[in-house]
Each structure stands twice: as C-alpha cells, then as structure tokens.
Amino acid sequence: MKLRPRLRVQQSRSAFAEGNSRWTNLDLDPVPYHLRKWGPVSFISYWISDAFNAATWQFASSMMAVGLGWRDSLIIVAVSFFIISFVIAGNGAVGAIYHIPFPVISRASWGFWGSYIAIVSRVILALFWFAIQNVNGGNAVRAMLGAIWPSFLTLENDIPEDEGITTTGMVSYLIFWLVQLPFLCIHPSKLRWLFMVKSTLVPIAWIAIFIWAFVAESGGGLLQQTATVSGSKYSWLFLANMTSVLGNYATLSVNQSDFSRYSRVSAKWQLLYIPMLPVVFTFLSFIGIVASSAGHARYGGDTIPWDPIELISHWSSRACRFFGAFSFALASLGVNISANSISAANDLAALAPGYVNLRRGQLICGLLSWCLVPWKILSSAGNFLNFMSAYAIFLGPIAGIMLFDFWVLKDRKYDTLALYQRENPTYQYGRWSVNWRAVVAFIVGVVPNLPGLINSVNAKIAVGVGVHPYQFGWLLGFVATSVVYVALSMAFPARASLVDTAVMAEDIYDAREGDSGSAHDQEKNRMGEKVKL
C-alpha cells in the first residue's frame, strides 16, 4: 500500500484539477501560454513528416495490386485526402482555439462517461496502427543491417512460416522498437524538432528515388497499366479503396487537436491542410508507383516490388541501401509518434488520469503493441486494405459527431472549465453523464458496416450484399452519424450544453492565483497574444 502513492502522476495545480483529479492531470489540462510553441512552420513540418511513410508509398500500389489502374489509384488518393482534410482542419481548429486534447473535447458531445466510447474506440485503433508502423520500421532496420552486415540476412530462421515473420525480421522489429523507446518519453510540446528533421531528410531521399526511377527506367511500364476490372465491380473496388485511404488517416481526423492545442497562432492556419494534404499525399503515392514500376522493369521477377524495402534490397550499392532504408525507418518513427503513440497516450491518460500521463501512456502503447502480432496484418496487399477499412468504420462516426457538435450545434462555444468538472451540469447530459444522442448516432453509423467487417475477418461467413456498406464504411459512417446526431440534437436539444459565451482556458488561468498563474500572465504579456473564436 505504501507504494501506491508513488505510482500516481503529478496532478495539475490549476483550477481545472481542483476537486476533479478523476478527470484530469497536468498533461490533460489546457495548454498554458508558455507551452504553446507550435507555429505555421511546425505544422507544415508535422504534416510533411506525417505524409512521408511507407503506407503513403503503398497507397496507390496496393490498389493497383488488386486490379485498379494507376490513374484510378491517384484519383482515389487525391479525392480521399480532399475529403478528410476538411474534417482534420475542422476538428484541429477546436484544439487551436481551446488548447485541449481530444479526450476532453469529446466530453462536450458525448458527456463525461459517454466519452469513453470514443476514447476506447480510438485507443484500440491507435494501438493497432502503432504496431503496424513498428513492422514497417523493423523491415527498414533489417535492410539497414543487411547493407552493413550481409550475412545477417541469411541467419537461420527458427520461426514457423505461418507466423508471417522470420528471425531476422523479429530481431529488426525489436531493434526498431528499442530505438523508438526514448522518443516515447519526450513531451509532445518538444517534438517539433523531430518533425523538422524528418521533413528535411526523408523528402530528399524519396525525391532522389523518384529521379532514379525516371533516369534508370523512364518510370517503368506500370504507367501504361489500366484497370483490370470494370462495371459494378470497379465501382465497389473504387469505394473500398477510398475507404482504405480514409481509414489510414481516420485517427488524425479526430486527434489533430492533440497537437493543434500547442498552437501559438490563429486557428485559421488549420485551413492550410485543405489544399496541402491532397497535393502532398497524391505526389508521394505517385512516387511509390513510379519507383515500383522502375524496380520491376530493372530487376524483373514475377512480382512487382510494391514494398519500398523490397525495392531497396535489389540495389547493388550497400551505401544506397543503407541510407534508403534509413529514410523509411525515420519515416516510420515520425509517423508512429505523430499519429499513434500520442493519440493512445492521451486516451490512456483520460481513462486513468491519476496514474497515466503522456509519457507513461506512450510507454504502455509501446508495450501493448507486441500483443497485436502486426506482421500478420501486413502479410498481403489484400489484408492491408482490409485492415484499413476496418480501421475507418469506427472513427468516421466519431469525427462526424465532433465536427458538427462544435461548428453547428454549439456554435463554436464551449465552456472549458465545465469540461473538467463532472458535477457541473453543462455537459452531464442526464444522470449518467452520457449523451444518448451521440450514442444512437454512433450505432447508426457503425451497425450497417458490421456484416462486411465480419466477412473481411472470416471470408467463409457469407453476408451477400451486406458487404457493400462496409466498402464505403468511413463515408457512410461519417454522413449517417452526422445527420442523425444533428437531427436528434435539434429535436431533443440538450439546452444545458448550449452556452451563451465561450469560457476559454485563459479566463480560468487569468482568474486564478499562485505562482503558476503569475508565470502564465507574464508569458501572455510577453507574447502579446489574444485568443479569438
């Protein structure tokens, strides 16, 4: 019993935690002025860093592997990111205005206990994707070790073939995981430098590969490939692959506030994502197609090297193999933190704020990733796309509820203090602190996708046409949930949650006394900032 107090994390001394330690800690509190260090360059670096990863490289190539042409694949990527960029910008603006993370924001629409539905849904999916990025990073480390120590690649394999990984793969996975571990201990407010480094080094390597593809083989022959399917099969395949792309960044459609809360600039900067994301991600997918095409033309073989690490392994220069693989290892490291470990950490902190802060949450995420055997998920292009689709059907509805709650129903007005006080009636939504409107809307958005999800997990279970809603699961879930949530909220309004005047974190910080409050005021005066809705 004496050890238990030592397990508790530091509780905030701000007014937000007074009598409410069950719902917050220092990391969940609104970000004070002196920690708001992210400006436009930081956010641009963040997204460039996030875009450069193996999954982006494989977007279009995975689609071509299942029967679509390269133009179709790029159109899907462009349209998907154009759609989701609005959601990312809209939900990211909430964090930039109120400087609070996703778990706290979700209380405004779900209620305090109801928010656990959204939090648990996101933390499970963030853990899965964190584990998958570990596999991508491990594969890159394997190529790096093979370039330095060629005999490493021929080590005897003691792992059964049906496990989807070899001994060298497992060793590489462990090495990447260990290298990543120290970065999980860094507070998000201090991660700007990592994204800036990645957004400088990785693009140089990828553009060099792009140039090589055209110089070596004039882009290869895949640029002449057209779709091998037509009619209704083509249409459903088009929608299924769009869902896969949306699913890959479905987490960031809800968790952008986990980073935008550190913004020192206006929320209008979040609009930058709308033109930027479709252009950047489509170009990177095109690099993947061209490089894989050139690799197939030069090195031959029965299969096309859609996996960039497989392509790199054919290069004769050991130095090129090492640095090429290093770029993908760095890419996996950066995206794993920006899109997954921070998300999981915020959610775990919200579930147990007395014992989990961001550092502990990220470490827990790292440990749990071993339990998910992610190497099996990535064993084929089909499995990769199935996982992405499954990933999307839960977060589409959550993103829709968040977006329309803030911009339509609440008219951009939240009471920040009430989001930390369950006894405050504003976001109680009844005796059980669950907003039944959000729960009903969430069920409406998810249930139609369940037959298709079951079929994707076990193809022996026939569901007939029930598979089709799942093929455009993110769009269906987002639209259906948003419509039902807005309709129910207007028909049965939760009047207590509609505040006349927004209560900002600054209002609470300015009103409180103490050393931290004085520091806050001094920082505000030094920066000369004003928060505007």
Taking the chain (533 residues) in consecutive chunks of 10 residues, what is each chunk's mean pLDDT?
Answer: 59 62 87 89 87 82 81 92 95 95 96 95 87 89 93 87 84 94 86 85 91 79 76 87 84 89 92 93 90 83 76 89 93 87 92 90 91 75 63 88 97 94 90 95 94 79 84 91 98 95 88 51 44 38
Does some domain include residue 197? Answer: yes
Residue 507 CA to residue 516 CA, distance in Å, equals 14
Look at residue 389 in the predicted model and tell me its pLDDT: 64
Residue 125 tokens read as: 């999916």
**CB of 307 within 8 A of CB of 66?**
no
CB atoms within 10 A of CB 350: 27
Exposed, middle or buried, 390 (CB in 10 Å: 0-12/13-18/19+)? buried
Does some domain include residue 13? Answer: no
Look at residue 412 in the predicted model and tell me its pLDDT: 95
Does some domain include residue 513? Answer: no
CA 456 to chain centre: 22
415 DSSP β-pair partners: 503
CATH number reported for the structural domain that contains residue 495 in this entry: 1.10.4160.10
Look at residue 526 in the predicted model and tell me its pLDDT: 43
CB atoms within 10 A of CB 502: 17
Instruction: Estimate the crossing angle of helix 102-110 against helix 381-404, to 10 degrees.
Output: 60
Look at residue 180 in the predicted model and tell me its pLDDT: 93
Does some domain include residue 346? Answer: yes
Question: What is the C-alpha radius of gyration for the chain, rounded to an integer number of angstroms?
Answer: 23
Q: Which of 269, 264, 273, 233 is nearest to 51 (CA)?
A: 273
Residue 46 CA to residue 93 CA, distance in Å, equals 16
Residue 55 tokens read as: 């999954």
Residue type, 323: F
Does some domain include residue 373? Answer: yes
Does some domain include residue 385? Answer: yes
Look at residue 384 in the predicted model and tell me its pLDDT: 63
Q: Which domain holds residue 381?
A: 33-502
CB atoms within 10 A of CB 226: 10
What are all long-range contacts of 179-182, with beta carbons under 8 Å and residues at least 24 apart?
179/141, 179/333, 180/134, 180/137, 180/333, 180/336, 180/337, 180/366, 181/363, 181/366
φ, ψ dihedrals at 503, nearest 5°: -105, 110
Residue 109 CA to residue 103 CA, distance in Å, equals 11
Does some domain include residue 143? Answer: yes
Does some domain include residue 4? Answer: no
| Helix, strand counts (H, E) of the chain | 24, 0
Q: Tokens 């921070």 appear where?
A: 342
Handedness of CA 14, 16, 22, 23 (dihedral sign): negative
Residue 10 CA to residue 27 CA, distance in Å, equals 9
Q: Which of 269, 307, 330, 253 is nearest to 86 (CA)?
A: 253
Cβ contacts of 445 within 8 Å, gap of 6 or more: 393, 396, 397, 400, 476, 477, 478, 480, 481, 484
Look at residue 500 in the predicted model and tell me its pLDDT: 94
- Cα dist. 108→59, 68, 188, 276, 497 in Å? 35, 42, 24, 29, 8
Residue 455 CA to residue 172 CA, distance in Å, equals 33
Half-sphere exposure (Cβ direction) of 377: Cα atoms closer than 13 Å: 23
Domain count, the chain: 1
**CB of 313 within 8 A of CB of 144?**
no
